[in-house]
Structures are given as structure tokens and as C-alpha cells.
Amino acid sequence: MTVIEYIASLVGFLLIIYFGWRKVAPPVRKLMKQRQDAIGQQVDDAKLAAERLAAAEKQYQDAVAEARTEAAKIRDAARADAQRIVVEMREHAEREVQRIRQRGEEDLVARREQVVRELRVRIGELAVDQAGELVREHLASQQARSATVDRLLDELAAMASSTGEAGHAGGK
């Protein structure tokens, strides 16, 4: 290759570089700048998304912890309510047992009194019947009737004489 060819090649090469630098490079730089800005924006968006994700995970963890705490409180309250209800039911059952027991005792006393009254009436009737039978048997013979009448008259006379003595003693 000769010097002229070499210079012509060099000038041609420089013209291509100049034309590339003036006409091709600015749109390529602009395109690269846009790509860099887009990638930078995507990186920023990714960082922001990562921060939002971290914040959301933190909120989620806090919400889960709060829900667990609330569930534990609700469970404890439910247990306390259940124990209170058991105690109330036992107390109610004990009061009901006492009420039934007292009512049974009252019924038993009332029935006992009723039976005693019925027995007194029946014993009284039997005693009257027995006394009547004894009197009838005793007065069945004439001699027994005379002895009873004589004894009755003697008792009346004794009563009259004791009343008379009491009247004389009061008059002195």
C-alpha cells in the first residue's frame, strides 16, 4: 500500500468516524441515556418495592403477633367465663338441692303431723269404742250396775260433804 492510499484510507476512516460521531453517536448516547435512566428508575422502583415489601412484612408480622395476643386474651376470657359459669351453675344446683331438701323436710313434717292427727282421731275413736264396750260389759249384770250406782252416790255425798266443810271453814 502506498502513502496516498494510506492517507486516503485514513481520511476516509476519519470521515466515517466524524460522520459516526456527529450523526450516529448522539442518538446512541441518547438511547443509552434513556436506557440508563430506565434501568435507574427500575432499580429505584425495585428498592422502593423492596422497602414496601419489608414494611408490609413488618405490618403482617405485627398483625399476626397482635392477632395471637388478641386470640390469647379471648381464649383466657373464655376460660374465665367458663369457670365462672361452672361456679354459678354449681351454686345454683346447690341452692336448688337445698330448696328441694327443705321442701321435702317440710312435706315430711306436714305428713307426720297429718298422720299424728289421724292416729289421734282413730285412737280416740277406738278408746271410746273400747270404753263403751267395757262399760257395757261392766254394767251387763244387775249386781255390777247396783255397785256402780252406789259408788257414784257415795262419791257425790263425799263431794257434797267436802263442799259443805269448805263453806263452813270460809264462814268462821
Q: Express each pLDDT in 30-62 by its tens digit.
A: 999 999 999 999 999 999 999 999 999 999 999
Nearest alpha-carbon partner for 91 in 99, 78, 106, 103: 99
pTM score: 0.40
Could you read off the pLDDT of 4-19 as tens digits, one per residue? 888 888 898 888 888 8
The dihedral sign for the CA sequence 12, 18, 23, 28: positive
Three cell numbers written together for 38: 430506565
Cell numbers 496516498 label which residue?
A: 4
Could you read off the pLDDT of 73-88 as tens digits, one per residue? 999 999 999 999 999 9
**pLDDT at residue number 6:** 87
At 153, the amino acid letter reads: L
CB–CB of 161/170 below 8 Å?
no
| Residues ≥6 apart with Cβ < 8 Å to 145 | 139
